[in-house]
Amino acid sequence: MKVLRLISAVLGVANALYSASDDVVELTQSNFASKVTKSDELWIVEFYAPWCGHCKTLAPEYKKLAKELKGTVNVGAVDMTQHQSVGAPFGIKGFPTIKIFGYNKQKPVDYNGQRTADAMGDEAFKQLRKLTKDKASGGKSSGGSGGSGNKGKTGKGSTILTDSNFRSKVIEGGDPWLVEFYAPWCGHCQRLEPEWKSAANTVAAETGGKVKLGHLDATQAQQIAGQYGIQGYPTIKIFYPDGRVEDYNGGRTADDIVAQAMILFEDVAEPPELFELTNKDALDKACTDAQVCIVAFLPHILDDQAAGRNDRLKLLRDMIETYKRKKWGWLWTTVASQPELEKQLGVSDYPSLIVVNPRKHLAVKMLQGFSKSGMEEFFRNIAYGKTGTAVSSFEEFAAIADVEAWDGKDGQLDVEEADDDLDDFDWGDDEEDDEYDQWGRKIEL
């Protein structure tokens, strides 16, 4: 650390890479504990030196990351030439070093991925999902034993992979895979074994077999191990259906592995159905087993016509695709079709969108506009437990009316035929011989 001070002094480096105008939070000896280690929020922290060439290269992407994640994930930076004591407990030895501070702030996760805003953002959201889960379980998913009850679940387990079946199952099978390359004599592999088996059972049960786990003895299948550059054990790799192969650098507990598998599941899961709320049965199908129910109240067909309504339904289906891994139910109805429900949930303008938690009897209204950006912001907050201020409570769902389903056509005004015969009107026939001047005054003959 004395060397760092000397270099900083000799080079005259007084300016950090980030300023108050950036969205990157400047972390120092005086604020690191209050902002990061004592916080219950997720932090991405870069430990850097202003003279470091790689740090300078990273800076534009890191600023972009901070701007994109503002309000969702905290992004900070520590100038190690000025605040060496901040990084010392975390073994900072090179620059830039990026660490992610999740549930256990004393054991941050190293980020070793690509140094782009997109790649770091993807990892941030993955860690944010894990933090949410850790909070709900009291941090059990961060422990070495996994401790979430996964071992009690049953499933198909981990597939034994060999030179003879690897290509047909993993490369050509069309499913995402997590594959462990191991050696029977490896102590770390032996410690991983119960966590891997537990995770495999859980993943099989939760995904219906659409995400698979397998293990390959690299001492026997040396050709496959060599093809993927396996040099240490255990090595875990992610095989995507499109042919991509990535290293898995996450935690080695069952919960960590399951969390990664569920992220893979997002790409292959079938999205839930969007029900039209035409009766009580539709409500039950969408909401009975759901964590939350989303109900969209759309304008009258005469206001939107078929094209406008289909645009709104497509927007909802796009959101369903994005959040298909969530156990959410989705419904839509139209103005005045379900008056009791509208009254109960305080719906007075259209289109409106309400998220309902049937178990907690709470409802949250979307205050953002009924648009892609508005929905993305709203559902992102819902996914991470940020409900905002538009929250109401209710006892039970209001009575659901039986209504006809939309026929997919434009709306038509109802025109009633008149019963009166036009011949019955008094057309002033008795005055047909009268004459009038240019101002409409009757001329007396």
Read off the CATH number of the domain in which 388 is found.
3.40.30.10
Range of the domain at 285: 275-393
287 is catalytic: no
Nearest to 129 by CA among 238, 260, 251, 24: 260
Average pLDDT, the chain: 85
308 within 8 A of 343, measured Cβ to Cβ:
no
Handedness of CA 16, 17, 20, 23 (dihedral sign): negative
Average pLDDT over residues 169-190: 93
Q: What is the pLDDT of residues 283-330, one digit of tens each?
A: 999 998 888 999 999 999 999 999 999 999 999 999 998 888 787 999
- The reply to whether 290 and 252 lie within a common domain is no
Q: Is residue 414 part of a domain?
A: no
- pTM of the model as a whole: 0.46
42 within 8 A of 105, measured Cβ to Cβ:
no
Question: Is residue 355 scored above 60 in pLDDT?
Answer: yes
186 is catalytic: yes
Task: Check residue 7 and give its pLDDT.
Answer: 45
Structure tokens given for 146: 């996994």
End residue of a domain, out of 213, 240, 268: 268
End residue of a domain, out of 268, 301, 319: 268
290 within 8 A of 358, measured Cβ to Cβ:
yes
- The reply to whether 244 and 195 lie within a common domain is yes
SS3 382: helix
Q: What is the separation, in whole angstroms, between the first and last Cα of the chain?
A: 121
Confidence of residue 14 (pLDDT cuts 50, 70, 90): very low
Of 69, 178, 189, 293, the catalytic one is 189
Structure tokens given for 277: 């709320």
Give the least confident one: 29-38, 40-49, 241-250, 382-391.
382-391
Task: Check residue 97 and give its pLDDT.
Answer: 94
Chain centre to alpha carbon of residue 236: 25
Question: Is residue 393 scored above 70 in pLDDT?
Answer: yes
- The reply to whether 264 and 280 lie within a common domain is no
Nearest to 85 by CA among 38, 28, 16, 18: 28
Left (φ > 0), alpha (ψ -120 to 50) or beta: where does 305 sit?
A: left
| Structural domains of the chain, count | 3
Percent with pLDDT over 90 in the chain: 58
Q: Is residue 138 part of a domain?
A: no
Question: Is residue 151 scored above 90 in pLDDT?
Answer: no
- The reply to whether 241 and 295 lie within a common domain is no
Q: Is residue 398 part of a domain?
A: no
- The reply to whether 122 and 181 lie within a common domain is no
Q: Is residue 145 part of a domain?
A: no
Alpha-carbon gap, residue 385 to 402, rounded angstroms: 33
Question: Is residue 4 scored above 80 in pLDDT?
Answer: no
Of 16, 27, 55, 290, the catalytic one is 55
Alpha-carbon gap, residue 298 to 282, rounded angstroms: 17
Cα atoms in the 13 Å half-sphere on the side-chain side of 115: 14
Confidence of residue 437 (pLDDT cuts 50, 70, 90): low
Task: Check residue 299 and give its pLDDT.
Answer: 96
- The reply to whether 284 and 236 lie within a common domain is no
End residue of a domain, out of 229, 249, 268: 268
Alpha-carbon gap, residue 179 to 192, rounded angstroms: 13
Give the least confident one: 71-85, 131-145, 272-286.
131-145
Of 4, 7, 13, 52, the catalytic one is 52
Average pLDDT over residues 16-40: 92
Residue 410 φ then ψ, to 5° = -65, 155
- The reply to whether 170 and 251 lie within a common domain is yes
Alpha-carbon gap, residue 189 to 181, rounded angstroms: 9
Q: Is residue 154 part of a domain?
A: no
Q: Is residue 136 part of a domain?
A: no
Structure tokens given for 237: 């790799």
Of 186, 268, 269, 398, the catalytic one is 186
Task: Check residue 426 and give its pLDDT.
Answer: 59
Nearest to 131 by CA among 43, 68, 192, 66: 43
Crossing angle of helices 301-322 and 372-383, rounded to 10°: 40
- The reply to whether 325 and 243 lie within a common domain is no
Q: Is residue 261 part of a domain?
A: yes
Average pLDDT over residues 88-107: 91
Crossing angle of helices 187-207 and 254-268, rounded to 10°: 40
Q: Is residue 89 part of a domain?
A: yes
Alpha-carbon gap, residue 164 to 224, rounded angstroms: 10
- The reply to whether 169 and 184 lie within a common domain is yes
- The reply to whether 284 and 373 lie within a common domain is yes
- The reply to whether 264 and 282 lie within a common domain is no
Taking the CA atoms of residue 347, residue 349, residue 355 and residue 359 in that order, the dihedral angle to the nearest 10 degrees is 0
Q: Which residue has the higher pLDDT, 130 or 423?
A: 130
- The reply to whether 122 and 33 lie within a common domain is yes
Task: Check residue 6 and give its pLDDT.
Answer: 45
Question: Is residue 338 scored above 70 in pLDDT?
Answer: yes
Question: Is residue 269 scored above 60 in pLDDT?
Answer: yes
52 is catalytic: yes
Give the least confident one: 147-156, 161-170, 182-191.
147-156
189 is catalytic: yes
